Structure 1
Amino acid sequence: MIDLRALRDSPDRLRASQRVRGEDESAVDRLLDFDSRHRAALARFEGLRAEQKSVGKSVSSAAPEERESLLTKAKELSADVKQAEAEAGELSAEVDRLLHEIPNIVDEDTPEGGVDDFRVLEHVGTPAEFDFTPRDHLELGELLGAIDTDRGAKVSGARFYFLTGVGALLELGLLNLAMQQAVADGFTPMVPPVLVRPETMEGTGFLGAHADEVYRLEADDLYLVGTSEVPLAGYHADEILSADALPNRYVGWSSCFRREAGSYGKDTRGIIRVHQFNKVEMFVYTHPDNAREEHERLLGWERRMLDKLELPYRVVDIAGGDLGTSAARKFDCEAWLPTQGRYRELTSTSNCTDFQARRLNIRFREDSGKPRFAATLNGTLATTRWIVAILENHQRADGSVVVPEALRPFVGHDVLYPVK
C-alpha cells in the first residue's frame, strides 16, 4: 500500500508510476478526491461531537427554562453526529479500497513498457553448440526415468507430473544446495505453511490483478501459496521489529501452487509451466534506506547459484508494465534453453519497498523512537523449473546428462544415464 501522506504531497510521482505501468492515471485523482472528502467529513464529525459534548455538559447546569431547548439541541446533535460518523466511515472505507487497488510506485530506474520491453543488463556464459540435435527436457527426462507427465495427468490432470528416480534426486539436490548457500550467507532457514489466511494473501498483493492465479479453499477460507514469499511476509505482521537486528533474512522451502489461468496453450509440454512445484525463496525485511543495496545483494546470490550450475543466462530489468502489484523494481535471470533457442526465466528478485509492510503493519523503531514501516524484498534461489535448464544444457549425444559439479554431492551421481 502506498503512503497516502506522500501522495498528497507529490501526486505527480504516482501519476508517472501509473504511466510506466500502463495503469489508469485517473485512479490518482479519484483517490485524492475521496481522501479530501473523507478528511472534510472527519473534521465535521469531530466538530459535531465536540459540540454535542459541550451541550451535554450544559444541560445539568442549565436553568429550567433553558433545559428543554438544550435537550432538543442535544437530540438533534446526536442524530447529526451519527450521520457524520457514518459518512466518514463510508468515505474511509472507499479510500482504503482505492489504496488497495493501486500498485506500488515503480523505481525511477524501471524501464517503461510491457512484457517485451525489459532491459538486458548482462549476458553470462556462452550457450553450448551441440554436434547433434539436442533433445528437450521432457524427452531427456523420460529417457532418464526422471519425469513422468503421463501419470501426472492421469492422477491430477494437465500440468501435473511425477519426478521419479534421478528426477527426484535432482530436485532435492538442487533445493538442498540452495538452502546450504543461503544459510552460509546468514539466512534463517524456514519451512513455512502453504495455506494462508485471506489477510496474508491480500497483504502481499496477490489478490488484486493476479487473484485468478491463486487456488482458494472456500470451505476453509484459506489460500494455497504460489510462493513462500507470502507466509514469510506474514510472519512479522502487526509486529515492531528490532532496528538493530535489521536486515532480517529468511529462506523458505515450500511447495507452491499456481492455477496458470490465462496460459491455455502455453508451455503445455514438460514441466516449464505447471500447477505445483517446489521452490527455495529468499525473503528480507530491511531499513527502507537500504532496500536498493539489498536488492543487488539478492540478485548476486541468485547469480551465484546459476554459476554453480554452469548455466548460460542473462540478467534483465523488468519493465513497469510487467511488474507485479507489490514490486517497485524486479530483476530476472533467464537461462538459455537450447531446444527453444531462447532464454527463459529461472529467478526473480523484487524490491517491494514498504508497500507490503504497510498492508501487513510491519514496522521497526528508529533511533528517535518513532515507528517506521520496513521494506521487504524477495528472490528465487532455486525451483523445479531449473531442472529444465540443467537437463538441456548438460546433455550428451547418447541422452545422458552431466551433473554440474556443485550438485554431485547432493545428487550422488556425476552423470545421469538413460534407463530406456
Structure 2
Amino acid sequence: MLDIKRIRNNPAEAKEKLATRAVAPEQIDDVLALDEQRRELLQQTEQLKAERNQASDQISIAKRNHENADEAIAQMREVGSRIKALDNKLDDVLTEFNDKMSRLPNFPHDTDPIGPDENYSREERKIGTLPHFDFQPKAHWEIGEDLGILDFERAGKVSGARFVYYMGMGAKLERAIYNFMLDQHAEEGYEEVIPPYMVNSASMYGTGQFPKFKEDVYQLQDEDLTLIPTAEVPLTNYYRDEVLPVAKLPVYLTALTPSFRSEAGSAGRDTRGLIRMHQFNKVEMVKYVKPENSYDELEKMTANAENILQKLGLAYHVITLATGDMSFTAAETHDLEVWIPHQETYREISSCSNCEDFQARRAQIRYRDEDGKVHLVHTLNGSGLAVGRTVAAILENYQNADGSVTIPEALVPYMHGITKITKENAHAK
C-alpha cells in the first residue's frame, strides 16, 4: 500500500507516477477527498470525546457535592449519541478509503521505462548463444509426448485443460531441476523453507493479491484459505505484524512450492504445453532488506536467477519492465526471458521485483534501527526459476534429431549420471 502522507503532500507527483500505471487522476482525487473526510471526522470525534470527559468530570463533582447532575448527565448522553453517529460514519469512510487505497498500485521507480505494455520494456543485456539445429526443432510438448514423459491428454481427463502428468524421466528431470535450483540458492545465502501451500486472506492482502486479484486464485469454499499463487505469499508474510532487530537484516528465503493460478483472462494464450498452467512448481526467492540497500539487493537477486540459466547453458535476455507491464506491487522489475526455439522468441522464466515498502506497509513488517526507531522494511521477490518453463526450455534447446534430449551438464549429477533422455530409458525403473 502507498503512503497516504506522500500522496497528500504531493498529489501532483502521485497523479503523474500512477498515470503511467493506468490510474486515472480522479482516483487520486477520490482518495484525497476520503482522507480529508476521515481526518475531519476524527477531529470532530476527538472534540466530542473531550466534551464527554468534561461532562463526566462535572457529574463526579456534582455527586460529591450532593448537587443535581441531571443537566450534565443529559449533556453527556447527547454527546455520546453524537459520538456513536460519527463513529459509524467514520467506519464507512474508513472502509471506502482503505478499499480505494488498497487498489492503487505501487509507485514506479524513476528509472523505469514508461509505457503501457511490454513493447515499451527496456532490454538490458543478452546472454548466451542461440542454438542452431540442422533439423526442424519441435515444440516441447511434442518432444515430451513423443518420449512419453509429458501426458497432457490424461491430465485433461483427470483435471481439465492446463494440467500435466510428468512421467518417468520427465518427473526425474523436473525433480533434478528444482533440487539444483535450491542447492544453488543455498550456496548464495538463502535459507530453504517449506511453507504452507494454503494461506488466509490477511496473507493475500499483505502481499497485494487481495482485494484486486481474487479472480486469479483458487479459494476453498467456506474456509478462509487460498491456494498460493506463488511462494512469495507465505514467505513474505512470515514476518507479518512483526518488528525485526536491524541485526537480522537482510533475510534471504527460498522455497520450492506448487503455484496455483486460475489464469483468468488468458483464454487462447499458450493453450498447449507447459508455459501457462493452472498448477506448476516454482522455486521462489524472497528478501527482507533495509531500504537503502534494496536496489543493490534487486541486482543480486537478478544475478542469482541468471546464474541458474547460465549453468544450464540456456540463452536468455534481461529486460526492465515498462511501468504498464509491472506487477501491482512492484516498483521495479527485471524479467529474465529464456530462448524458446520452436517459437523463435524469448519467453519469461523469472521476474525479480523490488516492492520497496509497499508490501511491508500492508503487512506491517518493520525493523528497529540502532537508535531504536522503527521503520518499514523493503521486500523483494523473484523466481529462481519457474520449473515447468525450465523443463520446456531444456526440452527445446537440448533436443536432438532422433527425438532424444541431452541433459545439461549441471543436471547430470541430479539425474544420477543419466546424460540423455531417450525412448528406451524414458520409463526406466
Of residues 418, 423, 429 in structure 2, which corresponds to 1:418? 423
Alignment partner, residue 47 of structure 1: 47
Letter in 2 for 1:406: A
**C-alpha distance in 1 between matches for 2:211 and 2:333:** 18
Query: Please, what TM-score do these two structures have when normalized by structure 2?
Result: 0.95
CA deviation string 1:329-370 (max 9, x = no partner): 111111111111111111111111111111111110012212
Q: Offset at 1:215?
A: 0.6
Identity among equivalent pairs (%): 38
RMSD: 1.5
Alignment partner, residue 110 of structure 2: 108
For the 8 Å contact 1:192–1:231, the answer to whether it is kept is yes
Alignment partner, residue 233 of structure 2: 230
Q: 1:17 to 1:282 in 2, by over 3 A?
A: same
**C-alpha distance in 2 between matches for 1:60 and 1:196:** 51
Alignment partner, residue 88 of structure 1: 90
Asked if 1:300 corresponds to 2:303, the answer is yes
CA deviation string 1:72-113 (max 9, x = no partner): 322221212222222223222222222111111111111112
Of residues 402, 405, 408 in structure 2, which corresponds to 1:401? 405
CA deviation string 1:132-172 (max 9, x = no partner): 11111011112222211111111111111111111111111
**C-alpha distance in 2 between matches for 1:86 and 1:150:** 56
Residues 119-138 of structure 1: pairs in structure 2 closer than 5 A: 119-138=122-141
**C-alpha distance in 2 between matches for 1:209 and 1:360:** 16
Bigger CA drift: 276-285 or 202-211? 202-211
Alignment partner, residue 2 of structure 1: 2
For the 8 Å contact 1:136–1:339, the answer to whether it is kept is yes
Asked if 1:257 corresponds to 2:243, the answer is no
**C-alpha distance in 1 between matches for 2:77 and 2:213:** 49
| Aligned-partner SS, 1:181 | helix
For the 8 Å contact 1:208–1:325, the answer to whether it is kept is no
CA deviation string 1:288-319 (max 9, x = no partner): 11111110000000111000111111111111
Q: Offset at 1:66?
A: 6.5
**C-alpha distance in 2 between matches for 1:197 and 1:23:** 28
Letter in 1 for 2:61: S
Query: Please, what TM-score do these two structures have when normalized by structure 1?
Result: 0.97
**C-alpha distance in 1 between matches for 2:389 and 2:184:** 19
For the 8 Å contact 1:37–1:91, the answer to whether it is kept is yes
Letter in 2 for 1:10: N
Residues 276-295 of structure 1: pairs in structure 2 closer than 5 A: 276-295=279-298
| Aligned-partner SS, 2:20 | helix
Of residues 329, 332, 337 in structure 2, which corresponds to 1:334? 337
Alignment partner, residue 17 of structure 1: 17
Residues 202-213 of structure 1: pairs in structure 2 closer than 5 A: 202-213=205-216
Letter in 2 for 1:157: G
Letter in 2 for 1:417: T
**C-alpha distance in 2 between matches for 1:208 and 1:83:** 28
Bigger CA drift: 201-210 or 215-224? 201-210
Q: Give the gaps of 5 or more residues in structure 1.
A: none
Alignment partner, residue 316 of structure 2: 313
**C-alpha distance in 1 between matches for 2:83 and 2:267:** 54
Asked if 1:386 corresponds to 2:390, the answer is yes
Q: Give the gaps of 5 or more residues in structure 2.
A: none
| Aligned-partner SS, 1:179 | helix
Alignment partner, residue 379 of structure 2: 376
Residues 95-174 of structure 1: pairs in structure 2 closer than 5 A: 95-113=97-115, 114-174=117-177
| Aligned-partner SS, 1:333 | strand
